[in-house]
Amino acid sequence: MTTNVGAPANMTPAPPPSPVSGSPRAGSGGVRSLLVKITLLGLLDAVVVYALFVLVMAENWVWFALAAVALLAINWIYLSRRKLPGKYLTPGLIFLLLFQVFVVLYSGYIAFTNYGDGHNGTKEAAISAIVEKSLVRVEDSPAYAVTVVEQLGEFSLLVTDPDGVVSLGGNERPLEEVDDAELEGDRAVSVPGYTSLSLGDLLDNQRAITELSVPLTDDPNDGALRTADGSTAFLFRSTLVYDEGADTFLDTESGAVYSDNGEGEYATADGEALTPGWTINVGFENFARAFGDEDIRGPLVGVILWTFAFAGLSVLTTFALGLFLAIVFNHERMRGKKIYRVLMILPYAFPGFLSALVWAGMLNPSFGFVNQVLLGGAEINWLSDPVLAKISILLVNLWLGFPYMFLVCTGALQAIPSDVLEAATVDGARPWNVFRLIKLPLLMVSLAPLLISSFAFNFNNFNLIYMLTNGGPRDIDAPVNVGATDILITLVYKVAFGTSTGRDYGLASAFAILIFFVVATVSIIGFRRTKALEDIN
Amino acid sequence: MTVKTPRRSLLLAGAALAGGALVLSGCSASDGGGGESDTSTLTVWLDANRAEALGDVISDFEEENDVTVDVVQKDFPAIAGDFTQQAPTGKGPDVVIAPHDALGQLVTNGIVEPITLENPDDFQEVAIQAVSYEGQVYGVPVSIENVALIRNTDLDPNAHATFDELVSAGQALVGQNGVEYPVIIQAGDNNLGDPYHLYPIQTSFGAPVFGTDAEGAYNPEDLQMDNEGGKAFAAKLAEWGASGVLNPSLTGDIAIESFVGGKSPYMITGPWNLERIKEAGFGYSIEAIPSAGGQPSQPFVGVQGFFVSSYSENALLANKFVVDYMGSEEVQTAIFESGGRAPALKTAFEAAQSDPDAAAFGEVGANGAPQPSIPAMSVVWEDWGVTEGAIIDGSAGDPAAAWAAMAEGIRGKIAAG
């Protein structure tokens, strides 16, 4: 934050003289920049206009309106002779909207839906999936040779049944025998008045053709012919019939009626639901579940406490070690500082998730380096005892995190003017007092914000937990899949992508929002506090 | 159209460029979208192994049907999950390869479409059962895999009739020729058990996960793990844990490393580790896992199959690709040759019998049980592994009680949905 102090001079838009600023009065340089501007703008317009066409085709009016307004605004800003601040701000603003605001709003929206396993599409998709699912190929039904034919844009199936009888039918038009079809071998390939579809035509109309359902007779219970490849059809019978008017499914075998139960699925009165369902808005239900569901609330308290303990202790231990080493290596009588410093930075140079994986191997009770080599063959269950696992996590995180603290502390220490320290020594202060009363407070001015962000980082330190223990060890008596070392973000991961209870993106998003509020609150309070520190300067 | 602010001829250049960009962006956008305008591109998700095996077949398909097949390589374990997420957005693939045990989840989410096989009898029965769900066939099975016992014949030339005999033979060998473990059964990370590898032993006590109905489909309401056999199995786990037969520190990597290093005469593993074992250079034999509890030991049989997305705009082409091509003997053999897993098509399976390893694994698998694909199964794994791990390392207390508590917990979760 403090580095911005020198910047403002560059930030204020310099008035006209600059040749690249696109000033209308400029000479030949102005023409070139105008050309560049028009080209870039033209490219952008082309892409967005294409996107607008796509959005119209998709009938996505909200996004169409937003994109159109954005396009107009951008052209207005850049074609105008003024709006200089706007020209600078617009690109950043667009990226902010796309990559920050949209993502945040979208997670917020998901938190209010039941998006998850069994509810991950639209209602139309659910209806067609249920219909598809309930279509059963009639056992022992023979294969019918078919040719897809077209008349006035409507597709029909020209069917040669196994006995050689040729008939024609379409959607909701039962098969009718035809006698003037042209045969090729024992398969009818065309019929007067209709155009037979070539392979290319078939491929261009795949959806329509695979959805063709040709009733065998007037009685729907006799079943219908459907083709999956355009050349062979089989007899299918449906066990579920969708009634569009009443918005219900009727089970033709048991007589059960499934209706929209308002929870994004079709269910009978006694609660038996059809899968799949669809995504609907559920209001605050996910948030209510996070606190109200006994299975989630129980472990949640423990997880929250451990998350705070983990984040807090991680910051404390890494900061203490980093600061200690920084002071030691900052001493002028220390030899070989550079080599030590390079060695010290190494853990920071490896990717964190990789280090965590390696540590997981090193902590293996019978084969790990720690037990085998360092402890002479001891069989300590580092990662499968709840307390030891927590200690292991803190130790590994200490190893991973102290180099960063060492770096920033070294930097901050070197920024403390030496005359201040000299004056203290001259006044007779002992080293401990110099550290406690002068160095530390001065360090904290610049380091406190970093400690807060380090806390926020560790609060969501998914890599370490996931790679080292995966949240385990789990208490075998606990009803839910939450382990002793799970922090909030790994809990969210297990809820969202967990294999044990199915995915629940809605609930996971609700958790993510709650985590955001916790981190935001802690950070705001922290930054307020650090302002007080700045008075020391 | 809003851009029309003509200013001299200077704009012409810009307009030309913009037009070019329009065309370009048109091309690129339709690639990924799979929209209506683009029906001659079939997007297929494959893992690296099968993408390589299918190279020729795919170019044949492209030529014969005058279409483009866009193969996207994916990490096999990630395919089902990514597919579930992407299909509803319309940006998913038309065809995927997936393990059959993900099928229940795919059907629940409504993203796979039933397919019609002209002759389901051409495939191994266990394979068709695996790709069926609630009476519908959803995919074309391509390969079958299961675990078996691999015996290092240099260390122990004799086969054993029961698991206890095997363990005592192994224990007798410990200490000689560098043998450290009587038998190797891999465990999960951090003291988790590995229910998949222990399952043949569990079934030999007569304790399958779920009971089956008349048609052989698993019934989620009939959890059978904690019957008398299950309790005996739990007691055995505790006993073997205490005596060091089962070692919770033997994770998958360490297990195969130790076996190829000659540290044990026996290992329970699948065809995926066969290459490593061949490289190790010792004599080996692939055989059925001896029964520990008196009843036949049945490993889980996993089937990999091709499925058609119900969001596919190219349903016809996708069906043709899956049914006519992936179900062909040529493809099934090609996939077998690249992965060593037994083919699901009977004729290809017969041909694969000339490979003694595949034949041996296939024989063990023929007596196996298809791994349940019902969504309820996903609830089972976690608790199952944790409890087995705790029983093996002795932290669970009374094994029978822990086992019963686990089964109760799983029942509760299944009931809660």
Give yes or no: residues A143 and A103 share one domain.
Answer: no
Q: Three-state SS for B177?
A: coil
Are A329 and A446 in the same domain? yes
Q: Decide: B66 and B40 in contact? Cβ < 8 Å.
A: yes
A384 lies in the same domain as A336: yes
Pick from B393, B397, B416: which is nearest to B405 by CA?
B397
The pLDDT-based confidence of B39 (bands split at 50, 70, 90) is low
Select the residue from A476, A486, A494 to test the B interface by mutation, using most B Cβ atoms within 10 A.
A476
d(CA B288, CA B365) in angstroms, rounded, equals 9
Interchain CB contacts (distance < 8 Å): A and B: 201
- Please, what is the average pLDDT of chain A? 83
- In chain B, residues with a C-beta closer than 8 Å to the C-beta of A203 are 39-40, 65, 67, 314, 316-317
Residue A53 has pLDDT above 80, yes or no: yes
Alpha-carbon gap, residue A438 to A448, rounded angstroms: 15
CA distance readout (Å), A520 to A507, A517, A525: 20, 5, 9
* Model confidence band, residue B1 (pLDDT cutoffs 50, 70, 90): very low
Interchain pair B378, A500: CB under 8 A: yes
Q: A507 lies in a domain? A: yes
DSSP bridge partners of B41:
B68
Q: Is residue A283 part of a domain?
A: no
Minimal Cβ distance to B14: which of A38, A383, A384: A38
B161 interfaces chain A, CB cutoff of 8 Å: no
Instruction: Specify whether A345 is located in the same domain as A394.
Output: yes
DSSP string, B18-75: HHHHHHHHHHHHHHHH--TT--SEEEEEE-HHHHHHTHHHHHHHHHHHT-EEEEEE--
Phi-psi region of A166 (alpha: psi -120 to 50; beta: other; left: phi over 0): beta
Q: For residue A212, is it left (φ>0), alpha (ψ between -120 and 50) or beta?
A: beta
The pLDDT value recorded for residue A9 is 41
From A79, A111, A143, the end of a domain falls on A111
Which of A494-503, B116-125, B267-276 reaches the highest mean pLDDT? B267-276
Nearest residue on chain B to A127, judged by CA atoms?
A: B110
**Taking a C-beta distance cutoff of 8 angstroms, is the pair B184, B267 a contact?**
yes
Strand partners, B144: B303, B342
Residues A295-345 pLDDT 10s: 777 788 889 999 999 999 999 999 999 999 998 888 878 788 888 888 888
Please report the pLDDT score of residue B184 as a whole number. Answer: 94
B contact test, residue of A33, A57, A203, A265 with most B CBs within 10 A: A203
**Does residue A117 form part of some domain?**
no
Q: Check whether residue A52 and residue A138 sit in a common domain.
A: no
pLDDT band at B400 (very low <50, low <70, confident <90, very high): very high
pLDDT tens for residues B305-337?
A: 999 998 888 888 898 899 989 999 988 988 888
Q: Which residue has the tokens 């005999």?
A: B165
- How many Å apart are CA B356 and CA B344, to the nearest integer? 17
Residue A29 lies in a domain: no
**Lowest-confidence pick of A496-505, B15-24, B389-398:** B15-24
Q: Poorest-confidence range of A12-21, A322-331, A475-484, B348-357?
A: A12-21
Under DSSP, is residue A299 helix (H, G, I), strand (E, B) or coil? helix
Residue A118: inside a domain, yes or no? Answer: no
Chain A residues within an 8 Å CB radius of B114? 132-133, 135
Shared domain check, A346 and A216: no
| A168 and A216 co-located in one domain | yes
What A229-232 contacts at long range (C-beta under 8 Å, 24+ apart), as own/partner pairs, is: A229/B316, A229/B319, A229/B320, A229/B323, A229/B324, A230/A146, A230/A148, A230/A197, A230/A202, A230/B316, A231/A145, A231/A146, A231/A147, A232/A143, A232/A144, A232/A145, A232/A146, A232/B118
| Confidence at A5, pLDDT banded by 50, 70, 90 | very low
- pTM to 2 decimal places: 0.76
Of A253, A278, A303, which closes a domain?
A: A278
Residues A360 and A440 occupy one common structural domain: yes
Q: Which chain B residues touch A45 with a CB distance below 8 Å?
A: 2-3, 18
pLDDT of B13 reads: 39
In a domain, A333, yes or no: yes
Radius of gyration of chain B (CA): 25
CA–CA gap between residue B94 and residue B139 (Å, rounded): 13
Q: How many CB atoms lie within 10 A of CB B111?
A: 28
Parallel, antiparallel or unpaired: strands A166-170 and A144-151: unpaired
A332 and A389 together in one domain: yes
CB contact under 8 A, B66 and A200: yes
Same domain, A85 and A141: no
Nearest Cα residue in chain B from A119: B109
CB atoms under 10 Å from CB of A516, counted, come to 14
DSSP A222: G
**Residue A10: inside a domain:** no
Report cis status (omega within 30 of 0) of the bond before B296.
no
Of chain A, the percentage scoring pLDDT greater than 70 comes to 93
The CATH number of the domain holding residue A401 is: 1.10.3720.10
| Selected residues 275-334 of chain B with any CB under 8 Å from a CB in chain A | 310-311, 313-317, 319-320, 323-324
- How many separate domains does chain A show? 3
Residue A502's closest chain B neighbor by CA? B378
**End position of a domain, from candidates A212, A244, A278:** A278
Do A268 and A162 lie in one domain? The reply is yes
Write out pLDDT tens, residues A83-111: 788 888 888 998 998 889 999 999 999 99
Q: Torsion angle of alpha carbons B222, B227, B233, B234, nearest 10°?
A: 90
Whether B174 shows a pLDDT value over 80: the answer reads yes
C-alpha B60/C-alpha B181 separation (Å) is 50
Q: What is the CATH number of the domain that holds A172?
A: 2.40.430.10
Report yes or no for ipTM above 0.85: no
User: Residue B369: what residue type?
Assistant: A
Residue A8 lies in a domain: no
Query: Out of A10-14, A102-106, A154-158, B204-208, which region has the weakest mean confidence (pLDDT)?
Result: A10-14
Range of the domain at A198: 124-278
Same domain assignment for residues A257 and A168: yes
Q: Which of A133, A202, A383 to mutate to test the interface with B (most CBs of B within 10 A)?
A: A133
